[in-house]
Amino acid sequence: MKVLVLGAGQLARMMALAGAPLNIVISAYDVNTDTIVHPLTLQKLGTGLSNAIADAEVITAEFEHIPLPILEQCQQSGKFLPGSEAIQAGGDRRLEKALLARCGVASASYLVINNEADFKQAVSELGSPLIFKSALAGYDGKGQWRLKAPGQADAVWQQMADFLAADAKQAIVAEQFIGFNRELSLVGVRAGSGEVNVYPLTENHHVNGVLSVSLARPVNIMLQQQAEQMFAAIADNLNYVGVLAIEFFEVDGKLLVNEIAPRVHNSGHWTQQGADVCQFANHLRAVTGMPLGNTELLRPTLMINILGEDHVPAAILSIAGLHLHWYGKQKRPGRKMGHINLSADSLAELKARFARLIDLLPEAAFPELEQMLGRVSD
């Protein structure tokens, strides 16, 4: 089975590794260089996008910031899953917020800002503090502004005005700032038949807007049920096929959707060791029409991102239950270079292993890990 993935980064790479045992052969479209490459070797495969689309049995995507003409070309092939609408909803915060409203799932109140009048209306209607997010191409904390008090309005608007003036396609979405207790995410998979399997809710810790650590552990059933209902509402509305990730804010036991990602997701990397069938295999199973795989938690697992580093102390590999996942990328400051999965049979054992890992990792490159250490308990 031949699958073309839009995007040639680590998510396509890990799909290739998970797909090979299923006899799924993956090629990847590198949007930056407009070439088709092997997602593992990054060798150019000497074919153009149109030929690759014709040659593939299924087309999918590893990210949502894909030029619209390419999405439309893939959509017209009739092979694109989860399809253009879902990918666009993940890549344009206006569409995303409209989708969430349409599905009736809880989310922060918002207004779309195209000009100063919109901005003033947002400040007046939504109050402060406010958070502003670019409609397009915003991820990992980029393209965000905050208004802590009304007195900052002029200064904040000036930055946003410059941003809007630079790109006619852009807009900004203003949202009420949510004072949340925790950030959680749910990764699940929906088959063409409508069948849905979801992994347990994962608790996430971000540093400077970028995911640092995810923890998958036996879940609070009330929260899991809320999350699953929202997942089903969104996935069914989009007639979604494949893996979908939803990020939530937890506020006093209630979940609000922060954003969705119409793809395999960084907060689901723990499934490679902590679940029976990982998110990459499950995405491929769904889009190629195979039965979905079991998403139960196999053992409590932590995922720690490796950002901007191409080396970690070899000694960490002697910790039982530790698995390194490098992405084979050139080092750049802050770049997602790989991740560590750490598993154990019990939360107590996981905590002990995590403490040992924290001791071995350089703190400058892995800040704030202790904040998650306290969470690893019954």
Report the interface residues with its own copies, using CB under 8 A: 13, 17, 20-23, 25, 38, 40-41, 43, 276-277, 285, 290-294, 296, 298-299, 314-315, 317-318, 320-321, 323-326, 328, 338, 343
Pairwise CA distance, residues 137 & 313, whole Å: 34
CB of 78 to its own copies, least distance (A): 22
Question: Which CB, 127 or 328, lies closer to its own copies?
Answer: 328
Choice between 164 and 278, CB closer to its own copies: 278
Got the DSSP string for 108-161? --EEEESSHHHHHHHHHHH-SSEEEEESBS--TT-SEEEE-SGGGHHHHHHHHH
For residue 208 the two structure tokens come to 């400077």
Q: How many CB atoms lie within 10 A of CB 147?
A: 24
* Closer residue to its own copies (CB): 248 or 354: 354
- Closest distance to its own copies from the beta carbon of 32 (Å): 22
DSSP bridge pairs for 256: 249
We find the least distance from the C-beta atom of residue 336 to its own copies, in angstroms, to be: 14
CB of 309 to its own copies, least distance (A): 12
CB of 221 vs its own copies, minimal distance in Å: 20
Tell me the one-letter amino acid at 56. A
Instruction: Name the residue nearer to its own copies (CB basis): 213 or 278.
Output: 278
Minimum distance, C-beta of residue 216 to its own copies, in the bound complex (Å): 16
Name every residue whose Cβ is closer than 8 Å to that of residue 151 and which is 6 or more positions away in sequence.
none
User: What backbone torsions phi and psi does residue 180 show, to the nearest 5 degrees?
Assistant: -95, 155
Name which of 272, 251, 374, 273 is nearest 320 in CA terms. Answer: 273
Residue 90 Cβ, how far from its own copies at the closest point, in Å? 26
Toward its own copies, which CB reaches closer, 235 or 278?
Answer: 278
- The smaller minimum CB distance to its own copies, of residues 296 and 370, is found at 296
Tell me if residue 337 falls in helix, strand or coil: strand
Taking CA atoms, 65 is separated from 60, 240, 275, 335, in Å, by 13, 18, 28, 17
Residue carrying structure tokens 């640092």:
212
Among the listed residues 58, 301, 108, 352, the one whose alpha carbon sits nearest the alpha carbon of residue 187: 301
CB closer to its own copies out of 1 and 112 = 1
